[in-house]
Structures are given as C-alpha cells and as structure tokens.
A and B are shown apart, each in its own frame.
Chain A
Amino acid sequence: MTTDRDMLDELFAEARDAETPGDALVARVLADAARVQGETPLSDMAPVRGGGGGWLSGIGSWLGAGGLVAATAAGLLIGVTAPDTVDSALGGRLTDLGLVAQDDLVPTLSYLLPGGGG
C-alpha cells in the first residue's frame, strides 16, 4: 500500500527529471552566451590610458623604462670590453691564430681626430 508520504516522494522523484531542455532552448541560451562574450570590449581587457603615459605602457611603465636604460648601458659596456674578454677567455688563441690583431682589441677614437687614421 502506498502511503501519502511515499506517493509524494515518488512524485518528487518523477518531477526531478520531468523537464529536459529542448534543442531550441539550448540553442537560444548558447546564442545569448556568444552574444555576451562578443560584447566584451577589448578595451575592458587592456585599458587604454590617455596623456603622455601612452608610450610607457608599451614597455611596462617606468619600471620597464628603467630596465631598458640598464640594458642599453650593459650592451654598450659589453661592446667596448668584449673583444679582449673573449680572447682572454680563449687563452689568447684568437691572437695566436692571427684572427685578431692585438691593436684591434684596444678601442681607439683616433680616427675621429683631425688627420687621424681608421
């Protein structure tokens, strides 16, 4: 014999799966989702700021600019000192092999002087 409580529980269980979304409803919901995703402006993801800070944002603000200056200075230093350093690291073999003239390893600005050679 089914009691009132049993009947109610059975009805609840039946109701649990009573409504399955049809394809048309699913399509409408997904179309809404695509529209909302499409509406999100790019500017929301990467805010564009006005004023003179624009160029800085491209290199990561002042922190990035500081890094850029440091990298430039390091590059200049390496450019000036590297030939000697490389030859020293190789035990002077570049010079021994005649690949590098000794006087080429010393930076000179003499060609900038009037009458200076290159």
Chain B
Amino acid sequence: MEPLDAELDQLQDDALMVLFANGEPAAARILTARLLPRVLNHAARVLGDRAEAEDVAQDAMLRLWKAAKTWTAGGAKPSTWLYRVTANLAVDRLRRAGRAVGLDDTDEPEDDAPDAEARLVEAGRMAALDAALARLPERQRQAVVLRHIEGVSNPEIADALEISVEAVESLTARGKRALAKALAGQKEALGYDD
C-alpha cells in the first residue's frame, strides 16, 4: 500500500466517496479493496455463477463511482447502498435468465431436486451451498447471504432490501431452516461427519 493510501485508509467509506468525487485516485483504490470483495461474494452466492457475479460486481461499483458526485458525508453508508444495488442487479439477471424462484416470501423450496444433488457431488461444498441457495425465494436468499455470509446487521439488511427489520429476521430464520433441510443428508458427501 502506498503511503497516501495508508493515511486515507483510516477514513470512513463515505469520506472516501467525497475524496473520490474530488478526483483523488487513492480513494478509488481503497474503496475497491474494501467493497469489491463483499460485492463479489454477495453476487456470487446469489447468482451461483462466478462470471456473472464479476459482471454484476463491476456494474455495481461503476454505479457507486457515478453516485460519488452527489454523495453526502455522514449520509447513507456506501456498503449498504452497494448491497442494495447488487441485490437489484442480481435479481434482474435471475429474472432475465428465467432462474428466479419467486419474490413471494412465503414460498418454500421443493423437496430434494435431483439436479441439486448432482451439482453437489460434482462441484463440492460451495456448489452445494449455491444450489441450495438457488432454491430459496429471492428475498430469502438475499437476506441469508447478507446476514450469514456477509455478516451484515439486520437493520442494515433492512435498509438495503428496503424492508422492515422484523421481515429480515423472519426471512433469515426461514431461509436458514430451508437451507438446512435442503442440505440434510448430504453431510458425508460434503465431507462432514455424519
């Protein structure tokens, strides 16, 4: 890390956004180092496809750069804003590809789909997780990924997905139950003790 980057690395994301808008290239490097891995991880788990996730991550970051000009320090958190943009971009892709399971929060995944098992055996734990996530309704999937994988707080998820905190709690609880059910009986195949 360059000396200037190390100094600016002490700043909060929103202050870096203002610096970025003022033409400071180091701000772009630090924001990318902080936020791109999270955006990519979020998109990859929701989409279950690395190449598509990279496209979405790049697109989301581009939108962040463009938003910098009107960003207000102390306002919205750039990470929350990015999670929202990433969630919307990912859902758009799923819908265009006809892979969306449905937005209805009450939907539950169907019982053991044979293709999920086949993917599981072929591609290991992440593919198994992705396959199980892919069977969750969109909002459940987004909430589970943000809460349990990205470690985002419930109020921040509520802000990102534009729903209530209670709805987040309900989505993550049901999503986790559904995942456990989808992966039940696969412990040995995934390398866990049965």
* Residue pair B183, A4 in contact (C-beta under 8 Å): yes
Q: Hey, which chain B residues are within 8 Å of A11, CB to CB? A: 125, 128-129, 183, 190
* Residue pair A33, B65 in contact (C-beta under 8 Å): yes
Chain A at the B interface: SS class: helix
Within 8 A of B (CB), among A23-61: 25-26, 28-30, 32-34, 36-37, 40, 44
Is A71 engaged at the interface, CB distance under 8 Å to the other chain? no
* Residue pair B183, A25 in contact (C-beta under 8 Å): no
Q: Which of B32, B44, B184, B192 contacts A30 (CB 8 A)?
A: B32
Q: Hey, which chain B residues are within 8 Å of A15, CB to CB? A: 41, 45, 126, 129, 149
Q: Which residue of B lies closest to A35 (CB)?
A: B65
Chain B at the A interface: SS class: helix
Complex Cα distance, B49 from A109, in Å, reads 92
Chain B interface residue count, CB cutoff 8 Å, equals 42
* Residue pair B150, A16 in contact (C-beta under 8 Å): yes
* Residue pair B32, A18 in contact (C-beta under 8 Å): no
Q: Which of B62, B151, B179 contacts A8 (CB 8 A)?
A: B179
Q: Hey, which chain B residues are within 8 Å of A32, CB to CB? A: 58, 61-62, 65
* Residue pair B29, A19 in contact (C-beta under 8 Å): no
Q: Which of A1, A8, A19, A44 contacts B183 (CB 8 A)?
A: A8
Is B193 engaged at the interface, CB distance under 8 Å to the other chain? yes
Given A4-B183, A40-B21, does the pair A19, B44 have CB atoms closer than 8 Å? yes
* Residue pair A19, B41 in contact (C-beta under 8 Å): yes
* Residue pair B23, A37 in contact (C-beta under 8 Å): yes
Complex Cα distance, B21 from A19, in Å, reads 28
* Residue pair B37, A21 in contact (C-beta under 8 Å): yes
Complex Cα distance, B134 from A61, in Å, reads 62
* Residue pair B58, A29 in contact (C-beta under 8 Å): yes
* Residue pair B23, A29 in contact (C-beta under 8 Å): no
* Residue pair B125, A14 in contact (C-beta under 8 Å): yes
Q: Mark A5-21, 1 if CB is under 8 A from B, else 0.
A: 11111111011111111
Shortest Cβ gap from A6 to chain B (Å): 8
* Residue pair A16, B41 in contact (C-beta under 8 Å): yes
Shortest Cβ gap from A75 to chain B (Å): 37
Q: Which residue of A lies closest to B186 (CB)?
A: A7
Q: Which A residues fall within an 8 A CB radius of B? A: 1-2, 4-12, 14-21, 25-26, 28-30, 32-34, 36-37, 40, 44
Sorted nearest first, the 5 A-B pairs with minimum C-beta distance are: A33-B28, A36-B65, A2-B192, A4-B180, A12-B148
